Structure 1
Amino acid sequence: MSIQLQGYDPSGAVASADTEDSKERVYSLAQAIQKVGDVDEQSAVDEFPPEEDATANSEALRQEAESLARLRTLFASCRFFLNREVPKEALTFIVRCCGGMTSWALGPGATYSEEDQRITHQIIDRPKLQGKKISRLYAQPQWIFDCFNARRRLPIERYFPGAALPPHLSPFVEERAGDYVPPERLDQLRHLGHDVDNLIAQKEEKGPSSAPPTKKKRGILPSSKTGTDEGTADTPAKPQMAVEPGQLHRDNKQKSKNEEGQELKMREMMIAKKHRRVYHKIKRGTKRHAREVDTLKRKRAQIDAGN
């Protein structure tokens, strides 16, 4: 005996249950987590005796651990209220990971209302808002993301509602020498204590002209005639010595460049045939990267000129 159920889709019921469960998990982020026992929130960073080979690595790891410890308390003294037009799931996750509190309009997971006087920041994504309160700061959602990526609280004035936002810097890009690095990223790296001297493109100093210096012909001083006879006029005059200013030796940059190019071609000819294809592929990639860097620099110059 077979029973046929019509109008029932079990996959829909499972999907609905999974959706409700995920929503409850997200909304539970706004709730304070109850501590079990006494936990030392500011645990000291483990210190190991330095070794000769691992001194630099251990110092970098120690600085990274201290930076992560500060990141956990980035929003510790902040209470956020999220408007309904902002992505509250992502913002709540970041703020709670950094020690802050979040809430939103009445609904699942809301812990306090918009009228709460303890709110320090309100995140909105609209140009204007009626009825602003002077006891809190208003910012666009990008401020929270940029603060988290920079691991510090950025000036909020550039993120006011309706303001033109600064460029969003990706935290997943590792800068190398020769890459285009925005000025904002350079300032961020300086604040984090990184050395940015190798990332700054050094402009070539304009040297002297590459044209070889022209040689002046040594002149012959005319000799005065001492006699009136025709024979003395035909006698060739002896050249006299003269002192002329010396010429400073200047390197011919074009000649040096040509010599380097010829040397490079000779080295390329010595590459084995089985490795030549890989070499040309790497060379094309280097040229493509240089073109991309030049394009980004040109676009940035146009933006700065427009502002």
Structure 2
Amino acid sequence: MGKKIKKGKEGPVKEYVSRTKALKKLQVNLKDFRRLCILKGIYPREPPQKLRKQHKTYYHNKDIAFLKNESILDTFRQRQAHLKKIRKALTRGDKLKAGRLRRNQPKDKLDHLVKERYPTFIDALNDLDDPLCLVSLFASFPTHKELHIPNTLIRSCQKLINQFFLYVSAHNCLRKVFLSIKGIYYQAVVQGATITWIMPYPIQASLPLDVDYKIMMTFLEFYQVLMKFVNFKLLGQEIEITDFSEEVMKLKSLAQNNQIEIDEAFKEDPTIQQMDQQQQETKKYSELFKGLTFFLFPEVPKSSLEFVILSFGGEVMWENDNKNSQLTDPKITHVITERTVQKNKKREYIQPQWVYDSINQLKLLSVADYAPESTLPPHLSPFEQLNLEEVQSESDEEDGQQKEHKPYQNNKKQKEKQAKQQEKETKKLAETMLSRKNKRLYDMIKRKEDEEQQKKNKLQEKKKMIQSKQQ
């Protein structure tokens, strides 16, 4: 008879460790453990059925062993020792020493973590969606003493976003834009990597107090370092942006000067052919607003429109900008406003939606539909599978049916069809608004519903078969 193995000593149960045991192994408190896990990209694991009944948080043993050798643990310990020194100085009444110690607190160096988590530059670009969302969110925040959100942090976030926007607009990387209730969705293709992020509207936000900002700040700390690396790699230097449009023009002229002519002998090479295709594609996007100059009125979102128009080859002006532009400038071709103004026959007067819809359809739309007085057409999401052409073809079919039949015959059917179509569109819009977590849950529920429907259909078929046999 073999030796009896004690419960929890071997097998799949041994591969997992609870959070309390992990804290004892690493000799850190819960606050530092959370911070370490966020910075290293380690998350709780779903344990086997035996452990799931205990209602505890579990981690993989390999992950905890991986955290043991982390250099940040030393800085955590140094910081704890430093805090003891500050407390001692305060109890003795030596405020000068306490202040000096506070200024010289040991800080975490996260450069090695970026290199560790993203071995290649394309890996960093592929994972840039969440960093851009969080950095742009903090860039729109007001300063808050109670929540420890200083002005320096907000400014650094704004600087990082502006630097990334500078590269995107100078190299015509922007592809799609969508104005939603949450904010403005952008999609850009940077060196072959598709990046999608959301930017909040430039409105002063009131910060809710029930959100854990400390965890968000930990994520932000790592994302800022990652963004600095990415921006430096893209731009080649750290640029202080004073005038966005001027910097974009400088970068565009530099890119044109640095263009390399390829010899005819190498033109048949597949990699060079792929590069040519990419250049032709970017040329399409860069020439959409070529030769057009837009004047922005105060009520329109300046920063978004400036970024978008410059990305597609246009020029932007507004009153009292760095060039001291005026509405009387003869270069102006389009005026973007949301109110009725005195019109000039040589210019086109449009609402901001015209710019975004033209970008999504990659053609200059008719200006008559977007005049300041007129009601705007629906702003459809470019991220949806449903094409604008399909919507137009459906509407054309409906118009044809109306012409063929008499109005009193198909009035009811038409109303039902419109109601169904509207329901479909609202459902699809709601799906796009879902977060990643909720989207996964929604997909799971949908899958289960489909499976149940398939089972029902099979049972009905069997029933029909049995009934036909009995007859």
Q: Into which bin does the TM-score normalised by the smaller protein fall?
A: 0.3 to 0.5
The structure number with the bigger radius of gyration is 1
Structure with the higher fraction of residues in helix conformation: 2
TM-score where L is the length of structure 2: 0.32
